[in-house]
Structure formats: structure tokens, C-alpha cells
Amino acid sequence: MKMKKIAYLLTSFLLVLACEKVELETFGDQKFVQFVDAYQDSTTLTFVFFPNQTTIDYPLQVKLLGRMEDKDVTYKLRVVEEESTAPSGFYSIPEDQVLRKGKVTDTAQVQFIKQPELETKAYRIVVDVVSTKDASAGETLYSRKVFWISNMIAQPEWWDATIIKSFLGAYSDLKFMEFIKVAGTGDLTDKSWDERRALCLKFKYYLQQQKDAGNPVKEADGANMTVPILG
């Protein structure tokens, strides 16, 4: 019995050493830069919410993995033009970026520019992290970011019969605008059922809080804004 216990402790110790060795070998002196949010979490921006602005400066968060040094880490961003629909005049995304020394997370310089075409169409902009001599691009899932920009509000394709019946109810521009403000996104296309439910519940609780505070959110006809989701 005693020998078994010793063998168990020895095995556990070796496993811990192995895990530490793998972690050290995985990173070593290497550094990686990647986005904070995963690729499937696309970001929808509309100038409707910025009526007096001709540009939107977006704080695109990045993070550093690996050994930190007491100096700036340079990395690159690349607009994937073959997968984007927005012309270059719709954005300003410098290729060379800096993650400032002493920081594990920082923000990249990203700006979107208002154009007349955005009044009638949403444009897609795909951005990748690119490796440099200072740092390599991180995990594939976190090395790409997708933006949708427009200057309009309209019922998206994902707001289908299921969403109407079980989640958000009938569509209205006002409801969609409120939902975007609360959920932080207007694109649920790639969200799982659980993720959709969580965001819709968050919106439901927001509407109830506003009502309880004596400031209910209204539809265009003056009725209180409601959603059918249960929970």
C-alpha cells in the first residue's frame, strides 16, 4: 500500500514537471499577439449611433502571450481585401501597430470613415494579425476580426421567425437599435443558441429595469417595448 502511494506521488510529480516543460517549450522566448475576442464574434458598427461624426475610432483590443519584455512590441495588422467588401476609403487601419511595454493588453489604432454608400449597404472589413520579428500571430481563432459597418438600420437576416417567436418578438428599427446598445453587437449570425439566448435575456432584463425605474423603452407607436423570451 505504501509503495503504491509513493508511486502515485512520483507519477504526479513527473506530470507536473512535464506540464511545466511543455509550457516553457510552447512559448520559450517567443511572443504572440492576438485579438481578445474570437473570430466568430464579428462586430457591427453603424454611424446611426454617431450622427455628428464622420469617423469612428474603434478600440480594437489585442493581448500579448509569452515572455514580456521591458520594451514596446511591434506587430502588424492586414486588411484582407479579398474577403472584404469595403473599399480602402472606408477605413484607416495602419499596418504597423505597437503594444506598449509593460502591457499585457492594449488597443490597436482602427478608424472607420463615413461614406455616402453606407446609407444603403453594410460593408464587411476583415482584419488579420500578421507576424513580425517581434511577435508572431497568435491562435488562428483569435488572429482575425470581422467588422460590418453601415449608416443604416434594417432587419438583419438572423432576425428570423424563430427569433420573432421565441426571443425578441416582432422587429422594429427602434428595438434593433436598443438591442445593439445593450448586447454590444448587431450580428447574431454565428452565435450559438445559448449565446443568442444569453444576449436576448440581457436585453429583456434591461427593458424590465427601465420599466421599473419609471422610464420604459417605447416603440414608435408609444407602446412599451417587450420581448417574448422566457427566463
SS3 per-residue string spanning 125-155: EEEEEECCCCCEECCHHHCEEEEEEECCCCC
**Can you tell me the distance from the alpha carbon of 70 to that of 77, in angstroms, rounded to the nearest whole number?**
22
Q: How much is the mean pLDDT over the chain?
A: 86
Give residue-wise pLDDT tens across range 187-201.
788 789 999 999 999
Phi, psi of 116 (to 5 degrees): -55, -35
CATH code: domain 29-152 is 2.60.40.1510
Q: What is the CB-side half-sphere exposure of residue 53 using CA atoms within 13 A?
A: 14
Give residue-wise pLDDT tens across range 142-161.
999 999 999 988 888 899 99
Residues 6 or more apart from 27 whose CB is under 8 A from it? 65, 66, 67
**Can you tell me the distance from the alpha carbon of 159 to that of 171, in angstroms, rounded to the nearest whole number?**
8
Pairing of strands 31-35, 91-92: unpaired
**Can you tell me the distance from the alpha carbon of 124 to that of 142, in angstroms, rounded to the nearest whole number?**
18
Q: Where are the domains of the chain?
A: 29-152, 153-231
pTM of the complete model: 0.63
Residues 6 or more apart from 8 whose CB is under 8 A from it? none
CA 224 to centroid of chain Cα atoms: 30
Cα dihedral 230, 162, 169, 210, rounded to 10, equals 50
Give residue-wise pLDDT tens across range 122-144.
999 999 999 988 899 999 999 99
Give residue-wise pLDDT tens across range 61-92.
999 998 877 889 999 999 999 999 999 999 99
Q: How confident is the model at residue 16 (pLDDT cuts 50, 70, 90)?
A: very low
Q: What is the pLDDT of residue 79?
A: 97
